[in-house]
Amino acid sequence: MLVTGAARQLGGRFVRRIQRDPGVDRVIAVDAVAPEHQLGDAVFVQADIRQSAIARVLAEHSVDTVVHLDVSAKALGAGGRTTVKETNVIGTMQLLGACQKSPTVQRLVVKSSTNVYGSAPRDPAVFTETTPPKSLPSGGFAKDAVEVEGYVRGFARRRPDVAVCVLRFANILGPQPDSPLADYLALPVLPTVLGYDPRLQFVHEDDVVDVLEIAAREPRRGTLNSGTFNIAGDGVLLLSQCSRRLGRPTVPVLLPAVTWVGSALRTIGMTDFSPEQIRLLTHGRVVSTVQMRETLGFRPKFTTAGTFAEFARSRGPGLLPPERVGRAVGRLAELPIGGGGQAGTTHSTHGAR
């Protein structure tokens, strides 16, 4: 089994997990830079998937399963948007080209993102795997993901004998966040778009590792693990709820001004406020996970709210911790006017008669 993007947190976790699987002989971890974390018994090959060297790695180890995790919104370490885009798109092309030549490859798993749906006011409230996007993402990571999926579809056509699984993840949150949204949520004060309260979905990193394992192995009885699946925790959180649960105050900004605030924040290097990010924070995005449950047979351990609670715990309290707000309201209740509610008495509107 070959895993790309192993130098990232998620890749590292997946490599460590999958080598415990008795059905997996050897794990070859690939990335352009050496990982900081341990990879266990896995063979680490420092190779850039943008180069054709990756074909040699595939042939040398006669790889049967390729898990392509090197599709990310954020550069690892230094490197701007150009590097990220090249790794995402050119890297995928090279990898798929290598897979197409390799006679041993039987299974391909690709990490994608629900970003491919875009977000627009004219979209249906819930995206299924077959919903065509109303407005195709015009740039940024979302466009990368769309292009990557396009190449993967092409590959699946040319190599029908290879089982291809594309997993579209909602916003991944975990203890060590590695996404622009997590960076955004780490800001002390959250700039929001005035008059919009987007619906967001999250998926926990533990669930991501679990579902990748399901996708990379032989399907269990009664399930099918090739195809395209949305992966998200149950339920929906509004951005306003997120900010309140994190205890971080929001600053509503008029939509035209958001772009300026975004570029200002980008300049000082606080967060990557890309246009697609702003669209997500304006219109939100919710996907249907029926296919994930029924076809893939995966049930996430964490709901959207649960994932977010874990994330909030790992981030520490914000400026307005919910507990303190709760206590403030409690103190309000202790004022003479609100005190002494006789809990046993039945509330009666007829008393006023």
Partner 1 sequence: MADAKVIPFDDDRSRSGAGRRRGTLPGGGRDRTPPQGGPAPVSALPGGQVPEGAAEAAGGPSQDAGEASVSGWDRRIAGGLAFLRRRLTGDYEVDEFGYDKELTDQVLMSMLRPLADKYFRVEVKGIENIPSDGGALIVANHSGTLPLDGLMLQVAVHDNHPAERHLRLLAADLVFMLPVVNELARKAGHTLACAEDAERLLQSGEVVGVMPEGFKGIGKPFGERYKLQRFGRGGFVSTALRAGVPIVPCSIVGAEEIYPMIGNSKTLARVLGVPYFPITPTFPWLGPLGAVPLPTKWTIQFGEPIPTDGYPPEAAEDPMLMFNLTDQVREQIQHTLYKLLVQRRSVFF
Applying CB under 8 A, which residues contact partner 1? 121-126, 128, 131, 193-197, 199, 235-238, 240-245, 255, 283-284, 286, 322-323, 325-326, 329-330, 332-333, 337-342, 345-353
Query: What is the closest distance, in whole angstroms, from the C-beta atom of residue 202 to partner 1 in the complex?
Result: 14
Cβ proximity to partner 1: between 125 and 251 the closer is 125
Query: What is the closest distance, in whole angstroms, from the C-beta atom of residue 294 to partner 1 in the complex?
Result: 15
Can you name the residues that pair with 110 across neighbouring β-strands?
Answer: 68, 166
Q: Which two tokens stand for residue 253?
A: 């900004």
Query: What is the closest distance, in whole angstroms, from the C-beta atom of residue 311 to partner 1 in the complex?
Result: 13
CB 72 within 8 A of CB 113: no
Cβ proximity to partner 1: between 226 and 307 the closer is 307
C-alpha 134/C-alpha 63 separation (Å) is 38
Nearest to 287 by CA among 133, 130, 127, 167: 127
C-alpha 267/C-alpha 272 separation (Å) is 9
Other CB atoms within 10 Å distance of the CB of residue 162 = 19
Cβ proximity to partner 1: between 72 and 119 the closer is 119
Three-state DSSP class for residue 250: strand
Q: Which two tokens stand for residue 81?
A: 């948007």
Query: What is the closest distance, in whole angstroms, from the C-beta atom of residue 257 to partner 1 in the complex?
Result: 12
Query: What is the closest distance, in whole angstroms, from the C-beta atom of residue 93 to partner 1 in the complex?
Result: 33
Cβ proximity to partner 1: between 188 and 340 the closer is 340
Please report, as a single letter, which amino acid is at residue 218: E
Cβ proximity to partner 1: between 121 and 269 the closer is 121
Cβ proximity to partner 1: between 80 and 195 the closer is 195
Three-state DSSP class for residue 106: coil
Query: What is the closest distance, in whole angstroms, from the C-beta atom of residue 50 to partner 1 in the complex?
Result: 38
Q: Which two tokens stand for residue 209?
A: 């590792």
Query: What is the closest distance, in whole angstroms, from the C-beta atom of residue 255 to partner 1 in the complex?
Result: 7
C-alpha 173/C-alpha 178 separation (Å) is 8
Query: What is the closest distance, in whole angstroms, from the C-beta atom of residue 236 to partner 1 in the complex?
Result: 5
Rama region for 118: left / alpha / beta (φ>0; ψ in -120 to 50; rest):
left
**Entry field: residues in the chain:** 353
Cβ proximity to partner 1: between 226 and 303 the closer is 303
Q: Which residue has the tokens 């004060």?
A: 189
C-alpha 239/C-alpha 322 separation (Å) is 15
Cβ proximity to partner 1: between 86 and 197 the closer is 197
